[in-house]
């Protein structure tokens, strides 16, 4: 790939990285794995004067899973490591599934879960499951640290609520409720390696057979990974059945706002939102019981 004309910085700490970004101005870009940033540069979508790489910051690639603290994925934790982590596979299988279904082997060995979120693609594979789980981002910037619900992070295709010189340092998920389950399902033209045409994250919690909590998110079918509250209402407070999941899928399909693009047509996406929402609900329910 032809690359030219940027300075490269590898700070050793987050405060140092924030200082660099503040001083370098808006044409300095944060880089974790680089698998999106360098492609954007190649395609002329961005022309960075400076790249601030995070991979040398010690401990930033930490992954931890605990019964009290929940799930912590640091900014430079690799997709491959999240996908293979035994604790995540056991307690947050939807998070591992999403990481495993992101791009291909080599990209997963370079790219990060947090980077996938920060790239803010509407089709980001790791967004729907983490949104469904009610994930929170830890952000550090010139004004200090703050937390932001992932749900409030995405503002448009490639756009996020990050302010200048802010860095997402981690994504965290609270410990799972008992009798709850989460699922990630996706669909793409080539099945494995390409961007999802439709992806759905579903989270349900049960009391007996009754659904007491439901969170549903659809990716690649709106300018941001979007919530489908009508579909959630369809299942909430009801006894879970396959028919109920199907009804929720139909409601989600009415709520989604897909367009036709290279990956799929609007019609196809609308139909598939129903199917994928149903499948995600069925799998989440299976994991909850």
Partner 1 sequence: MKHDIQLTVNGDTYSLAIDPWRTLNQVLREDLNLTGTKLGCGSGDCGACTVIMDGRSVSSCLTLAVEADRKEVLTVEGLAPSGEELHPIQEAFIEKGAIQCGFCTPGMELSALHLLSQNPKPTEKEIREGLSGNLCRCTGYNKIVEAISVSADRLNRKTSKRKSR
Contact residues for partner 1, defined by CB under 8 A: 1, 3-8, 10, 34-35, 38-39, 42, 51, 53, 55, 80, 103-107, 109-110, 192-193
CB of 166 to partner 1, least distance (A): 23
CB of 186 to partner 1, least distance (A): 14
CA–CA separation, 89 vs 95, rounded Å? 8
Q: Which is nearer to partner 1, 1 or 68 (CB)?
A: 1
Q: Which is nearer to partner 1, 115 or 141 (CB)?
A: 115
Q: Which is nearer to partner 1, 110 or 244 (CB)?
A: 110
CB of 50 to partner 1, least distance (A): 9
Q: What is the largest CA-CA distance in the chain?
A: 61
Q: Which is nearer to partner 1, 36 or 151 (CB)?
A: 36
CB of 39 to partner 1, least distance (A): 5
147 contacts 136 by C-beta, under 8 angstroms: yes
Question: Per-residue DSSP letters for 136-181?
Answer: EEEEEETTEEEEEEGGGTEEETTEESPPTT-EEEEEEEPPPPTTEE
Alpha helices of the chain — where are they, by DSSP H?
A: 14-24, 37-42, 79-84, 86-91, 93-100, 105-110, 113-118, 127-132, 229-235, 242-255, 266-288
Give the phi and the psi of residue 4 in degrees, each rounded to 5: -150, 155
Q: Which is nearer to partner 1, 44 or 208 (CB)?
A: 44
CA–CA separation, 121 vs 23, rounded Å? 27
Q: Which is nearer to partner 1, 242 or 261 (CB)?
A: 261
CB of 193 to partner 1, least distance (A): 5
Q: How many other CB atoms are there within 10 angstroms of residue 179's CB atom?
A: 15
CB of 71 to partner 1, least distance (A): 23
């Amino acid at each position: 790939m032809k690359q030219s004309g940027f300075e490269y910085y590898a700070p050793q700490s987050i405060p140092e990285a924030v200082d660099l970004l503040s001083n370098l101005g808006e044409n300095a870009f944060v880089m974790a794995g680089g698998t999106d940033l360098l492609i954007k540069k190649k395609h002329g979508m961005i022309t960075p004067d400076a790249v601030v790489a995070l991979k040398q910051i010690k401990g930033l690639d930490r992954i931890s899973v605990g019964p009290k603290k929940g799930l912590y994925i640091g900014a430079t934790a690799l997709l491959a490591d999240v996908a293979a982590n035994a604790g995540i596979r056991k307690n947050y299988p939807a998070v591992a599934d999403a990481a495993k279904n992101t791009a291909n082997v080599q990209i997963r060995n370079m790219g990060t879960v947090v980077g996938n979120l920060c790239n803010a693609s509407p089709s980001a594979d790791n967004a729907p499951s983490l949104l469904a789980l009610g994930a929170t981002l830890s952000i550090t910037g010139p004004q200090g640290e703050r937390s932001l619900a992932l749900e409030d992070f995405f503002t448009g295709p490639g756009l996020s609520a990050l302010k200048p010189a802010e860095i997402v340092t981690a994504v965290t998920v609270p410990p799972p409720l008992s009798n709850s389950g989460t699922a990630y399902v996706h669909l793409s033209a080539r099945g494995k390696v390409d961007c999802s045409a439709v992806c759905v994250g579903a989270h349900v919690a049960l009391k007996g057979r009754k659904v007491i909590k439901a969170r549903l998110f659809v990716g690649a079918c709106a300018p941001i990974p979007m919530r489908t509250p009508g579909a959630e209402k369809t299942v909430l407070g009801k006894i879970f059945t396959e028919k109920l999941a199907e009804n929720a899928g139909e409601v989600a399909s009415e709520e989604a706002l897909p367009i036709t693009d290279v990956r799929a047509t609007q019609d196809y996406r609308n139909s598939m939102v129903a199917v994928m929402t149903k499948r995600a609900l069925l799998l989440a329910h299976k994991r909850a019981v």
